[in-house]
Amino acid sequence: MKLTLPLALMIATFAGPAFAKAHHKSIEEQLMKLDPQTRFEQRCDGRVSGLTNREHKGFNTDEVVAYAFADSTLKGTVVTAPGAALRSHGRWYHVSYACKVSPDGLNIESFSYKLGAEVPREQWAEHYLVP
């Protein structure tokens, strides 16, 4: 019985990275099934979500709509979303971003964004924004 906890800790320490790598590989495999524009946009949406959560106190972004207020564009491997929106704690906010991905779309090479004002609720339905 005394060996149970140390053994469990040792397994978690060494197996954890392997499980994380397998999970990451599975996500990459799923992304590769998407058409390139969708894959690139998904990676960029994930980046804006993560950055706003880290850089804006109290944010918990759970959804991004890249085309909410203007169409996103793809030129080469650069996604531009001038009229995106993101949701945090049930409220939508304007956001715009420019994002350069690797040729396979799995890695972000450069990224910039600007978080805007809250979107009034009466505009949500018109722009595909759900509660």
Residue 3 contacts by C-beta under 8 Å, 6 or more apart in sequence? none
Domain count, the chain: 2
User: Are 45 and 24 contained in the same domain?
Assistant: no
pLDDT at 31: 75
User: Are 5 and 45 contained in the same domain?
Assistant: no
Average pLDDT over residues 102-120: 96
- Is residue 34 over pLDDT 60? yes
Look at residue 114 and give its three-state secondary structure.
Answer: strand
Asked if residues 68 and 127 have their Cβ atoms less than 8 Å apart, the reply is: yes
User: Are 85 and 44 contained in the same domain?
Assistant: yes
Domain that holds residue 17: 1-33
Asked if residues 83 and 69 have their Cβ atoms less than 8 Å apart, the reply is: yes
User: Are 49 and 104 contained in the same domain?
Assistant: yes
Average pLDDT over residues 56-72: 96
Average pLDDT over residues 57-68: 96
pLDDT at 130: 94
Residues of the chain with pLDDT > 90, as a percent, come to: 70
**Residue found by looking up tokens 């396979």 in the block:** 104
User: Are 65 and 105 contained in the same domain?
Assistant: yes
User: Are 56 and 15 contained in the same domain?
Assistant: no
pTM of the model: 0.78
> What CATH number is associated with residue 56?
3.10.450
User: Are 3 and 44 contained in the same domain?
Assistant: no
User: Are 77 and 14 contained in the same domain?
Assistant: no
Distance between CA atoms of residues 127 and 105, nearest Å: 26
Tell me the CA distances in angstroms from 12 to 18, 63, 92, 113, one per residue in order.
10, 31, 39, 37
User: Are 117 and 89 contained in the same domain?
Assistant: yes
DSSP string, 47-104: HHHHHHHHHSTT--EEEEETTSSS--EEETTEEEEEEEEEEETTEEEEEEEEEEE-TT
Ranges 1-15, 21-35, 49-63, most confident: 49-63
pLDDT at 5: 40
User: Are 79 and 25 contained in the same domain?
Assistant: no
User: Are 26 and 40 contained in the same domain?
Assistant: no
Give the confidence band of 25 by pLDDT, cuts at 50, 70, 90.
Answer: low
User: Are 109 and 52 contained in the same domain?
Assistant: yes
Average pLDDT over residues 75-86: 97
pLDDT at 10: 42
